[in-house]
Amino acid sequence: MKILVINAGSSSLKYQLLDMETEKVVAKGNCERVGLDRPFITYKHDGQEQKFDGAKNHEDAIEKVLKILTDKEYGVIKSFDEIEAVGHRVLHGGEIYKNSVLVTDEVIKNLESLIPLGPLHMPANIAGIKACQVAMPSLPQVAIFDTAFHATMPEKAYRYAIKYEDAEKFHIRKYGFHGSSHRFITLEMAKILNKPLDQVNIIVAHIGNGSSVTAVKNGKSVDTTMGLTPLQGMVMGTRSGDVDPTVVQYLCKNKNMTVDEVVNYLNKQSGVLGISGVDSDMRTVENEAAKGNKRCKLALDMVAYSARKFIGSYLAVLNGADAIVFTGGVGENGAETREDIVSNMENLGVVLDKEKNKNFKRGQVELISAKNSKVKIYVVPTNEELMMARDTQEIVQNLKKKSKKTK
């Protein structure tokens, strides 16, 4: 069974074709600058990378991706009949969807009703689904939600302390994101720790340009740092993370900005970029900090401090943990960032082996805690696309079983 996984953004469309018999990637790429000037498509397969003319919209992008995948010269499948189903990353399931679902007309309507909760991402997610429905009308389309894994949070964790009636009416609450990543890591850690899933108690630190920390108790999310939107929580690449809400009012008055402009400012001009004044990329900021740039050093310190603060609070929430797990682009590859985050946590039973951390092998599961660390520290590569493909496969297989029973 081959599954096509789609992650449609406002001006991009990432794709990955997986062979589910081996769970290996057959081909992958990105349609970049969709609908903008100078669009292009990247295509990676069999160790090769090619570049093609881009797309004017999401429907055009899907058509071109299918044409590339089935091309007689460099394609990896003879026709898209070899694709069993398409899995779509969807930002928000709101309070409606707590698991991945088969896309129907009703699902599309529900997704459109959730656009106010994710105005930047949801229209693009929906456009990607509709484009695939047009190009491959006979194939099952599955929606996989970033928020779903966190649907198990207790009310005391997800509710904001605002007027109860308003929170209910406008669905204002913590939803959490990076769900596919946190879920993938939780399932992997059950294998690594050799424990039943319902006995896994871990803290997952997904750290990249966007970052979130999740407390997992008995295999389920009980709290996470992102909130109503992905803006809440840690200091991130371009996002501020937690700030006093009156900062919005203050900026509106003193910089003559609208509320929407301030939200954009907090999302795209803040975080590591805003503090360093250099870049949102941690690698660039680390290089500049090493040269003596104090603002870059401050930005790195703030990222580490915010992560450490959340990890510490979740150790309290869980009353201890089996492990702290680093994942995501920076979490997996940033040895300095990991060391900065877990330093000075020895009294909490968290002790890093600095040599193991420094000499870790990229792309592999690594235990980097010291022997005397009560809480183990791991680096585990995430695979959100594989998690999405597995969900899609499961739904398709269940659909086939139901079809056989009705015959």
Q: What are the tens digits of pLDDT across the range 27-82?
A: 999 999 998 899 999 999 999 999 999 999 999 999 999 999 999 999 999 988 89
- DSSP codes joined into one string, 104-161: -HHHHHHHHHTGGGSTTTHHHHHHHHHHHHHH-TTS-EEEEETTGGGGG--HHHH--S
Are the CB atoms for 2 and 82 separated by under 8 Å? Answer: yes
Confidence (pLDDT) at 40: 95
What is the value of pTM for the model shown? 0.94
Of the listed 71, 81, 146, 279, which one is catalytic?
146
Angle formed at CA 121 by CA 283 and CA 164, multiple of 5 degrees: 105
Q: How far apart are CA 299 and CA 274, in angstroms?
A: 9
Of 112, 141, 144, 136, which is closest to residue 59 (Cα–Cα)? Answer: 136
Confidence (pLDDT) at 407: 63
Q: How far apart are CA 338 and CA 331, in angstroms?
A: 7
Angle at which helices 259-268 and 246-254 cross, to 10°: 110
Going from the N-terminus, what domains does the chain have, and what CATH number goes with each? 2-145 (3.30.420.40), 195-384 (3.30.420.40)
Are the CB atoms for 328 and 206 separated by under 8 Å? Answer: yes
**Contacts with 72 (C-beta within 8 Å, 6 or more apart), sequence order:** none
Per-residue pLDDT of the chain (407 residues; tens, 9 = 90+): 899 999 998 788 999 999 999 999 999 999 999 988 999 999 999 999 999 999 999 999 999 999 999 999 999 999 888 999 999 999 999 999 999 999 999 999 999 999 998 888 899 999 999 999 999 999 999 999 999 999 999 999 999 999 999 999 999 999 999 999 999 999 999 999 999 999 999 999 999 999 999 999 999 999 999 999 999 999 999 999 999 999 999 999 999 999 999 999 999 999 999 999 999 999 999 999 999 999 999 999 999 999 999 999 999 999 999 999 999 999 999 999 999 999 999 999 999 999 999 999 999 999 999 999 999 999 999 999 999 999 999 999 998 888 777 76
Task: Judge whether 242 counts as a catalytic residue.
Answer: no
